[in-house]
Amino acid sequence: MKGLKRLALLLATAVMTVSAVALVGCAEKTNASYSTGVPESYADKVTLIIDDLSTEEVDAYFQVDYAEFAQDATAFDLMEKLKADGKLCFKSEDSSYGAFLTAAGVIEGGEEKYLIEADDAAQVFIAIYTNVEAEMLGPNSITYGSETVESSAVGISQMTLKNGAVICLTAESWA
């Protein structure tokens, strides 16, 4: 009987150890507020990407169901929602053309972590790209998985959200 109890205890310990290792090995590499890499799908979503082009992978992306927005919603509305949800941080200045972005980042552990920032001394600005065809300016483009975004012809406050819209923010030099 003692041997049977010992065998059952040993078997239970082995199962628990294997289960714990398997769960740790399968952990998804995402933050509670944002993901990195490229989304698997853009369908029925609006996607905001923050991408420091000097790094290999997309630094952060956020996806929100398109149905959560009014028909006349803008990309700035998307940013405001993500900020209110405690996922996104950004800095902007009001201008006669609407919001002028000067920094964008993520919230990690309750702290703001800016991934891209404008810097007048270094001649760096926040560039905005979109896949909404009516607002694409070109010729600059970036491809994320199945979607290509081009330089936007409008500012973040005028940029419309469409089903499947991808908005990308990067830091670029005007020099």
Q: What is the pLDDT of residues 149-172, one digit of tens each?
A: 999 999 999 999 999 999 999 999
Residue 6: both structure tokens together: 């010992």
Report residue 7's pLDDT band, with 50, 70 and 90 as the boundaries. very low
Q: What is the pLDDT of residues 37-51, one digit of tens each?
A: 888 889 999 999 999
The topology under which CATH files domain 29-173 is Ferric Hydroxamate Uptake Protein; Chain A, domain 1 (2.170.130)
Phi-psi region of 138 (alpha: psi -120 to 50; beta: other; left: phi over 0): left
Instruction: Decide if pLDDT at 54 tops 70.
Output: yes
What are residue 43's phi and psi, to 5 degrees? Answer: -65, 135
Instruction: Decide if pLDDT at 17 tops 70.
Output: no
Closest by CA position to 142, among listed 156, 152, 153: 152
Domain segments of the chain as ranges: 29-173
What pTM was estimated for this model as a whole?
0.79
Instruction: Decide if pLDDT at 73 tops 80.
Output: yes
Q: Contact at 8 Å (CB) between 66 and 80?
A: no
Amino acid at 54: S
